[in-house]
Amino acid sequence: MSRPVPVLELDSKDYSDLFPEGEDLQRQIGARRRREGWARIIFLLVLLLTILALATLLYTIINGAFGMTAIVNAVEPEEIVESLGYDPAQVGLADLSQEELVEVLAGAVTNNVGRRLERDQRFFEDRLVFESEATWIEICASPEPPTGCALAPRDQSNILQLVNERVVVPDVVQTWDLVESITDREAIEAEIASADFQERHPGAQPEFRAWLNWQFVTSPQSDVPELAGVRTAILGSLWLMAITVLFAFPVGVAAAIYLEEFAKPNRVNRLIQTNINNLAGVPSIIYGMLGLAILVRALEPLTSGSLFLGEGQGVSENGRTILAAGLTLGLLILPVMIISSQEALRAVPNSLRAAGLALGATKWQTIRKHILPVAMPGILTGSILALARALGETAPLVVVGASTFITVDPTGPFSKFTALPIQIYQWTARPQQEFQNIAAAAILVLLILLLTLNATAVILRNRYSRSKM
């Protein structure tokens, strides 16, 4: 069978535009070249715009995390140090001993507040400060003893924070961003010193403040932005990551091995594969709702720990725990983990499989001894990247029920939790400027953690590709 040969039909139209000659041709070529030049410039500009977006993002964060502040202290730290008979020029608040700090605290807070603090956590191992010995024994024997009965006593840094929070009470009355602080420092200091400003905020002093500092990283959450920190949130995030990895890594790799090495291309296995691809596109908030309905609510005895520890012994009274949230994140990154592990397994040459089987090894022996070791760097790289995604996820954690305010470090999978992205979300959502500043600082902490994870993945990938050459 031969196809009909197309016949070129000539009509009477003028096609000289399409096939110019002489000067017209030169002009057309010139125009096309110019268009080409413009296009190149426009494409490049668009690309630069994208990079500019990233740069602006980083600029905004750093700009918020450092800058000038006007601070008003209820009591100046120097006065406290001086009242204890030290030279304020040489001794700072942080140099005082635990006894001295407790003394300062006891002199400044009411007995009621003191008793509450002591019930939360004792000040000394051997003696009580606010509470009488008899009442203490009585309340500790009551059916619901306060946490202070079981916890170890506070350490010096903890009491220092209390003194800062309750006695010094630093109050940032206004903040400036980093760029303003560098370019306009004198103007800012003059403004704070001005009579008008001093009238509104008596005793306000200018201070350059790095919102991201060591105290910020090591302090627990606080209602006072100047004293708040992210320790609870960092520990919460680390706990979550541990649960997520323990769940998603073995299951993800196993599923990938099944799909790549065992599954025959039948209907069921194709369904599983399509399903995994679809799951990867489900919005993360939907996983949060799945976690809320199944893990938090239906499996409450399991996730609240009451199944293992007995009723009322769990740290949390409901299923909104690290375990539930970690498993939710695990389910969320599972599709990504499976897909990247599958790619790593697919990259292993078939000759390895054939060699193993030809030597009489069983399929699983071949996989375990031959294929997995070769594919492992690729699997690890993919898993770390998936984990980085889980670390930054916020929406599912909010839905599963992250605690809004929690100052106690998580102690296990059944603790209530907060996490870095949750902290960032809550602080960003508050209208006061200082909370925006600590949100920026917390973002920097999160980005540093993410950078570490990603760098690990890149190093793994590089080492792997070099050893293969």
Contacts of residue 460, Cβ cutoff 8 Å, sequence gap at least 6: 377, 380, 381, 384
Beta bridge partners of 205: 71
Looking at the Cβ atoms of 208 and 258, the one nearer to other proteins is 258
CB of 244 to other proteins, least distance (A): 15
CB of 87 to other proteins, least distance (A): 42
CB 328 within 8 A of CB 290: yes
Calpha distance 426→230 (Å, rounded): 12
Helix ranges, 66-97 (H): 77-83
CB of 449 to other proteins, least distance (A): 10
Looking at the Cβ atoms of 26 and 60, the one nearer to other proteins is 60
CB 463 within 8 A of CB 377: yes
In this structure, what DSSP letter does residue 208 have? E
Calpha distance 154→137 (Å, rounded): 19
305: alpha, beta or left, given left = phi > 0 and alpha = psi -120 to 50? left
Beta bridge partners of 67: 209
CB of 37 to other proteins, least distance (A): 9
Give the count of beta carbons closer than 10 Å to the beta carbon of residue 287: 23
Calpha distance 328→306 (Å, rounded): 19
Calpha distance 424→444 (Å, rounded): 10
Looking at the Cβ atoms of 169 and 272, the one nearer to other proteins is 272
Looking at the Cβ atoms of 164 and 284, the one nearer to other proteins is 284
Looking at the Cβ atoms of 198 and 465, the one nearer to other proteins is 465
Calpha distance 366→257 (Å, rounded): 12
CB of 250 to other proteins, least distance (A): 8
Which one, of 201, 116, 131, 125, lies nearest residue 162 by Cα? 116
Looking at the Cβ atoms of 75 and 279, the one nearer to other proteins is 279
Contacts of residue 314, Cβ cutoff 8 Å, sequence gap at least 6: 304, 305, 306, 321, 414
CB of 42 to other proteins, least distance (A): 7
CB of 112 to other proteins, least distance (A): 27
CB of 289 to other proteins, least distance (A): 5
Beta bridge partners of 208: 68
Looking at the Cβ atoms of 161 and 244, the one nearer to other proteins is 244
**CA distances (Å), origin 374, targets 257, 344, 369, 463:** 13, 9, 9, 13
Helices (H) and strands (E) in the chain, counts: 22, 3
The position carrying tokens 């760098």 is: 455
Calpha distance 222→231 (Å, rounded): 11
CB of 382 to other proteins, least distance (A): 14
Beta bridge partners of 70: 174, 206
Looking at the Cβ atoms of 65 and 96, the one nearer to other proteins is 65
The position carrying tokens 């980005």 is: 447
Calpha distance 211→229 (Å, rounded): 10
Looking at the Cβ atoms of 71 and 331, the one nearer to other proteins is 331
CB of 50 to other proteins, least distance (A): 6
Calpha distance 418→439 (Å, rounded): 14
CB of 324 to other proteins, least distance (A): 13
Looking at the Cβ atoms of 151 and 282, the one nearer to other proteins is 282
Looking at the Cβ atoms of 42 and 355, the one nearer to other proteins is 42
Q: Between helices 372-392 and 420-428, what is the axis angle to 10°?
A: 20
